[in-house]
Amino acid sequence: MQTRKLTLIAGATMMALSANTAWAEKITLTVASFPSFDAAVTAAIPLYKKINPDVEIKLVSLAYNDHHNAMTTALATNSNLPDVMGVEADYMGRFANSSGLYDLRQAPFNSGEIEAKFSPFAVPLAAGEKGQLSGMPADIGPGAMFYRSDIMEKAGVSVEDLTKDWDSFIEAGVKVREVTGQYMMSNVQNIVDIVIRSGIEDGGGVYFDAEGEILVESERFQEAFRLAKKAREAGLDGKIAAWSNEWSEGLRRGDIAVEFMGAWLGGHLANWIAPDSAGDWATANLPNDSWASWGGSYYAIPKSTEHQAEAWEFITFMTTNKEMQLLAFEEIDAFPALIEAQDGPFFDQPLPYLGGQKARLQYKEAAAQIPAISVNKLDPVAKQVIADALESVLERDVAVDKALADAAKLLKRRARRK
């Protein structure tokens, strides 16, 4: 391992040398990021300094929305761009097609050589329509189911009941509701979000296929809507939006028995949402052998940079250096995208908050299983269309077929420039 790292650094240094004749001159690399992803950069600075003392890292951090809006306008005008850009997964799909970012698969970056080092689903999320790759994955959010083991026990529901398939999950939910009165989930929207992402072939998309054809009328969506409607009618969800007051308060009081989210929710639960419920919460994989990811972060290099070699060097350090990846995991709960870093004693540690489960191994398995889904820049629009369609099915009694047909029509209209 040690030798591999050394050769890697040596290679990077060579590149830096060739790109920059003024070897002794200090170079300042501007990195634009957002909380809490920026904490990884802050943590990296002393480490990076040891390896590369001649490069100063200057971190520019803005709030999540502000950062991405600023990057959008910066790309639009090709000005005020940083040397390295942090991008969140939701925005990566849009930025992937930007001509203002380097295609990292091209020389001198040749990311193709190292892409295999990452969880397979993470790389395609940063890939553009023309096969280019605009971002390198730093962390990922493998999906997990968190549940209150005490409530399940009281209701006589086993983990097997929860995970077998969705209908079994809903039945379990009815039991929970009957016995304890708790909600089985915050919102049935979660079921849809997971089901529409299951069973996608590698390379396929959620809402659009590789050719840009609209997929929202497919079996996945039909099933997702059917299940959501069934769950809503059974009164399983609290109709609560994630991150609202009701949501955090519901989780804290145990009014919500199950939540689906990225693995990092475990940290949030332990730290601030429900610190008093240590031992009551447990985790399992998503029902019906579904695999999905919540969020993730990437690094991209704008073409305007004068320090492309240093920028690439820094990115590879952040994404392919095992120590760095593990450090970020420990510091900010950023699950490593680097497969190599998904190993070791840290992963074998039992988590006391989750009743001593070795949960990180479960997340690792999920990370390996998540299908490689391709993204489309209209995904955010499609998400809104599907949310509206779901609302009409759940609350306005619109038939699933009709709602999805309408959604497809709307989406087709909005995808007019594809």
Partner 1 sequence: MPSVVANQPKPLEMKYRQGLLRKLFGAKAYKAAPYMFISPFFILFFIFGLFPMLFSIYLSFHAWDPVDGLGAMEWIGWENYTFALTDEWFHTSIYNTFWIAFASGIPQHVLAIPLAYFIHSSLTKMRNSVVGVYFVPYITSSVAIALVFTSLFSRDFGVINLVLTSIGNFSIGEFQPLAWLFPTENVDWQRPEYTKPMISFVVFWRYVGWNTVLYLAAMQTIPKDLYEAATIDGARRLQQFWYITLPMLKPMMFLAVTLTIIGNLQLFEEPFIITGGTGGLEQAGKTAAMHMYITAFTESDFGTASAISWILFMVIAGLTWINTKLLGSKD
Contact 174, 236 (CB under 8 A): yes
Q: Which of 47, 60, 159, 381 contacts partner 1 by CB under 8 A?
A: 381
Least gap, CB of 238 to partner 1 (angstroms): 8
Distances (CA, A) of 257 to 47, 227, 254, 395, 398: 41, 18, 6, 23, 29
* Contact window for partner 1 (CB under 8 A) among 97-105, 115-123, 166-174, 346-354: 97-105
> Least Å distance between CB 72 and partner 1?
5
- Smallest distance, partner 1 to C-beta of residue 316, A: 24
Q: How far is the CB of 167 from partner 1 (least distance, A)?
A: 26
- Answer yes or no whether residue 7 interacts with partner 1 by CB under 8 A: no
417 belongs to the binding site for partner 1 (CB under 8 A): yes
Tell me: does residue 181 bind partner 1 (CB under 8 A): no
340 binds partner 1 (CB under 8 A): no
**By the rule CB under 8 A, 65 interacts with partner 1:** yes
Q: Is 67 in the site for partner 1 (CB under 8 A)?
A: no
Q: CB count, 10 Å around CB of 63?
A: 11
Q: Does 250 bind partner 1 (CB under 8 A)?
A: yes
CB atoms within 10 A of CB 251: 24
Residue 158 binds to partner 1 (criterion: CB under 8 A): no
Q: How many residues does the chain have?
A: 418
**Under rule CB under 8 A, residue 100 binds partner 1:** yes
Taking residues 210 to 249 in sequence order and writing x for each that binds partner 1 by CB under 8 A, - otherwise, the string is -----------------------------xxx--xxx--x
CA distance 235 to 241: 16
Query: Residue 72 or 218: which CB sits closer to partner 1?
Result: 72
Distance CA 337, CA 328 (A): 11
Q: CB of 225 within 8 A of CB of 400? A: yes
Distance CA 335, CA 253 (A): 27
Please give the distance of CA 336 from its chain centroid, rounded to a whole number: 11
Does position 88 interact with partner 1 (CB under 8 A)? The reply is no
Stated as kind and residue range, the H or E segment containing 138 is strand 136-148
Contact segment (CB under 8 A) with partner 1 among 2-10, 215-223, 228-236, 391-399 equals 391-399
- Answer whether 114's CB lies under 8 Å from 320's CB: yes
Residue 369 neighbours by CB distance under 10 Å: 18
Query: What b/e string do you get for 163-181 counting C-beta neighbours within 10 Å, with b at 16 or more?
Result: bbebebbbebbbbbbeebe
Q: Does 377 bind partner 1 (CB under 8 A)?
A: yes
Q: How many of the chain's residues bind partner 1 (CB under 8 A)?
A: 37
**Selected binder of partner 1 within 18, 28, 77, 106 (CB under 8 A):** 77
Contact residues toward partner 1 (CB under 8 A) are: 65, 69, 72-73, 75-78, 94-95, 97-100, 239-241, 244-246, 249-250, 377-378, 380-381, 384, 387-388, 391-392, 395, 410, 413-414, 416-417
